[in-house]
Amino acid sequence: MLNLLGEQLLNGIVTGSVYAIVAVGMTMTFGVLRVINFAHGEYFMVGTFASWFVIEKIDLGYPQSVVFAVALTALLAIVVGYFLMRKMVGAPFENGVLATLGVSLILQNLAVALFGGSYKFFNGGYIEPVELFGYGLAQQRILIVIVCVLVFIGLDLMVTYSRMGKSMRAVSQNIECCEIVGIDVQSVVLWTFVIGASLAGLSGVLTAPVNVSVYGGMGELITFKTLPIIIMGGLGNVRGTFIAAMILGIAESFVAGFIGLQFRDSVGFVTLSLMLMWRPHGLFSLQSRF
Amino acid sequence: MTLSGMFKGFPLKAAALCALALTGGFISQAQAQDGDIRLGIVSPNTGSNARYGSFALRGAQLAVEEINSAGGINGKKIKIFSGDSQCTPVEGVSATQRLIQEDKVGFIIGDICSSVTLAMQPIVENAKVLLVNAASSNPAITYKAGVGGFKWTYRNYPTDEVRSLVVLDYATKQKNFTKFAVLSVDSDYGRGAINFTKKYLERFKSEIISEDYYKDGEVDFRSVLAKIKNSGAQAIIMYGLADTTPIIARQMVETGLAGKIPLIGNGEFNAPATIKAAPTALNGAIEAAAWLPGWDTPRSKEFVKKFEAAYKGETPNNHAYSHWETVHLIAATMKAANSTDGEKVRDAMAKIKFDSAVGPITFDDHNQALVPMILLEIEGGAPSIKGAFVGSIDYPKN
């Protein structure tokens, strides 16, 4: 029994890492732009598709496809960010919802229009299993956890010490003051969005080897699962998001393992409902945004 | 807008509207000749069963080309109109209504997903359009057809009642399994097949230790597989989606289940792409399928050859076959009825005896065709046929 408990915990941590990398981008976007990016899962999908495309059609290796995928996602994010997302700053909340939902629909159906509606098979990545603490684990999953930790350490350092990070914190606090002080708000907004979306793309291409299926609608579930995480972690709170993602990953793993797989998706939404009822500003202090 | 404002420029607006309506009429007429037989095909063309949908549509198109090039039926050509169900009842019903109201089809073959077919049945009944199902396996579809209620539904495909009986019989008698874990898709198909399996558990003195259902789009099975590994189950009963099986198979390799606990049931285990994804996990898998390319009759082999020639060497799956055969079945029924009127064809189908690639087809009083279920086991990376079973069903008393 302890063995099984340990295995579910490990599964939860791996799942949580995937969610964490995706969620941090969405929470950063909210923190700076005050927009919930409903198209966030689609950048995850774009990253996966880009990687799949170069592996299948151009015969690149997996590491090169990761670089390509993140670059392409970043490029897409620059375009969307420059023409669309920047205008959301200071606009009413509904604008952001509508705009990002629109982007989501466009990206999903673009993928279906370009590549067809059937599920594609992802060939690539390090799927050979290794033994860790007596549990079988694909090498890719260990890579995901390592990347997740590195990403969060990196982001934490950037936000605390770098100029861009400090500007991001400033913009998330008060835009007018930033403009007075001389911070280029439009630029900060754009780069925050690009970083967030690129992280989603990175998460997509890292999980593709173990998730195997690539299809246009795959981002939708990601967006819906990320929403409870960012609310639980506190909108805009990077550290909180990491912990919330881990909590969700482990909770899902336990529910799937001990209660039933069919209830797995409900964990996110039950958590969301509880959060909104009990502690709508998130598990962590309101003051600790960024 | 004031009243006078609305009527400003009225002649121009009226002319524009008329022109638009006329062009609309011309466009729809240009697509199909008067007197064409309009056949709708509802299938999942996008989503997790898109592979099935693509095979089904191509199988039907191949049959239509064969019939049309042989002169059509009494001189009339068949025209296919395709609708995308996305394997969800909402979209399937919407596609069916569009086919009936806008494309004016008189006959529909659809869907693959049982949940969609169940939702389509009342629609075609009200519209008096003949629905011949060629791929759904949930028995409820024909429990409610023929004398069971829906007169306009026929099914040319074996049901999960036969399938689950056949699989359980083989697994317990030939492999001596008595403890099973369930991991099926959370739909009418997945849950229905398990309900029927449970009906026969006592007869074969076996038990189900754990029961899990996965949603369409689920990618993380590690938790469930860990649970199954610890539970002492000897086999996993899986009635699932074609595109999810490779994911589960890969994760079985990861968690160390591959080669230890086989998959039994149905989920396109016999497709070469699935086997290639994780050969050790699929070895020893037992599947009950309605047809497979290795089936050895002249008509069946000829179909495989024609399909491969028409579609760049791709081997057909059982949905391609069943849709191809069903189009020929409808054509033969039209010839027997000497009419393309929906009601006459429907009545003629009840009495037809059609020579198919899997044997002679007749329909029982619930409009269900009596067709065999083929049992196969994956040995050495390829499916090997172990037998074919025709089951007769005890229909529940209304």
To test the contact with chain B by mutation, choose from A8, A123, A212, A224 the residue with the greatest count of B C-beta atoms within 10 A, namely A212
Asked whether the CA dihedral B350, B351, B355, B359 is positive or negative, the reply is positive
pLDDT at B25: 43
What whole-number percentage of chain B has pLDDT above 90? 63
Residue A226: closest CA among A22, A70, A77, A39 = A22
What CATH homologous superfamily does B161-289+376-389 map to? Response regulator (3.40.50.2300)
CATH architecture of A2-288: Orthogonal Bundle (1.10)
DSSP letter for A259, please.
I
Mean pLDDT (whole number) for A132-151: 90
In degrees rounded to 5, what are phi and psi of residue A288? -90, 25
What ipTM goes with this model?
0.85
pLDDT tier, B23 (very low <50, low <70, confident <90, very high otherwise):
very low
How far is Cα B34 from Cα B53, in angstroms, rounded to an integer? 28
Going from the C-alpha of B78 to that of each of A121, B107, B116, B134, B221, the distances in angstroms are: 35, 10, 24, 18, 45
Mean pLDDT (whole number) for A146-175: 91
Check pLDDT > 50 for residue B27: no
Lookup: tokens for B384? 């090997």
pLDDT tier, B397 (very low <50, low <70, confident <90, very high otherwise):
low
The verdict on a CB contact (< 8 Å) between B54 and A118 is yes
pLDDT tier, B56 (very low <50, low <70, confident <90, very high otherwise):
very high
Check pLDDT > 70 for residue B394: no
The CA-based angle A115-A117-A118, given to 5 degrees, is 95
pLDDT at A64: 92
pLDDT at B30: 36
How far is Cα A81 from Cα A194, in angstroms, rounded to an integer? 7
Are both B37-158+295-367 and B161-289+376-389 of the same fold? yes
* Alpha-carbon B269 to chain mean position: 16
User: Which own/partner contact pairs does B355-360 have at CB distance under 8 Å and 24+ positions apart?
Assistant: B355/B299, B356/B299, B356/B325, B356/B328, B356/B329, B357/B291, B357/B295, B357/B297, B357/B299, B357/B300, B357/B303, B357/B321, B357/B325, B358/B291, B358/B295, B358/B297, B358/B300, B358/B388
Residues of B with CB under 8 A from a CB of A: 45-48, 50-51, 54, 84, 183, 186, 211-215, 217-224, 226-227, 230, 243-244, 246-247, 250-251, 253-256, 273, 277
First to last CA, chain B: 60
Mean pLDDT (whole number) for A57-79: 94
Contacts of A215 in chain B (CB under 8 A): 47-48, 50
Contacts of A213 in chain B (CB under 8 A): 48, 219, 243-244, 246-247
Contacts of A117 in chain B (CB under 8 A): 45-47, 50, 84
Mean pLDDT comparison of A199-203, A254-258, B45-49, highest-scoring range? A199-203
Residue B278: closest CA among A206, A121, A135, A12 = A121
CATH architecture of B37-158+295-367: 3-Layer(aba) Sandwich (3.40)
How far is Cα B165 from Cα B178, in angstroms, rounded to an integer? 14
Q: What is the mean pLDDT of chain B?
A: 88
pLDDT tier, B179 (very low <50, low <70, confident <90, very high otherwise):
very high
CA of A134 vs chain B CAs: smallest distance (Å):
10
CA of A105 vs chain B CAs: smallest distance (Å):
15
The verdict on a CB contact (< 8 Å) between B219 and A212 is yes
Check pLDDT > 60 for residue B273: yes
How far is Cα B76 from Cα B94, in angstroms, rounded to an integer? 28
pLDDT at B277: 86
User: A240 CB contacts (<8 Å, ≥6 apart)?
Assistant: A232, A233, A234, A282, A283, A284, A288
Check pLDDT > 70 for residue B228: yes
Would you list the domain boundaries of chain A?
2-288
How far is Cα B193 from Cα B200, in angstroms, rounded to an integer? 11
Tell me the count of A-B CB pairs closer than 8 A.
106
CA of B273 vs chain A CAs: smallest distance (Å):
9
How far is Cα B147 from Cα A286, in angstroms, rounded to an integer? 66
Check pLDDT > 90 for residue B74: no
pLDDT tier, B6 (very low <50, low <70, confident <90, very high otherwise):
low
pLDDT at B31: 42
Identity of the residue in A116, A136, A257 whose CB atom sits nearest the CB atom of B254: A136
To test the contact with chain A by mutation, choose from B88, B208, B222, B274 the residue with the greatest count of A C-beta atoms within 10 A, namely B222
pLDDT tier, A87 (very low <50, low <70, confident <90, very high otherwise):
confident
User: B327 CB contacts (<8 Å, ≥6 apart)?
Assistant: B39, B59, B60, B63, B64, B67, B78, B109
Spatial contact of A81 and A190, defined as CB atoms under 8 Å apart: yes
User: B367 CB contacts (<8 Å, ≥6 apart)?
Assistant: B142, B145, B146, B150, B151, B153, B154, B155, B349, B350
Would you list the domain boundaries of chain B?
37-158+295-367, 161-289+376-389
The verdict on a CB contact (< 8 Å) between A265 and B253 is no
* Alpha-carbon A214 to chain mean position: 17
Give the pLDDT confidence of B186-209 residue by residue, as tens digits: 998 999 999 989 988 888 899 999
Identity of the residue in A3, A15, A127 whose CB atom sits nearest the CB atom of B220: A15
What whole-number percentage of chain A has pLDDT above 90? 53
Tally of CB atoms within 10 A around A178 = 17
For the entire predicted model, the pTM comes to 0.82
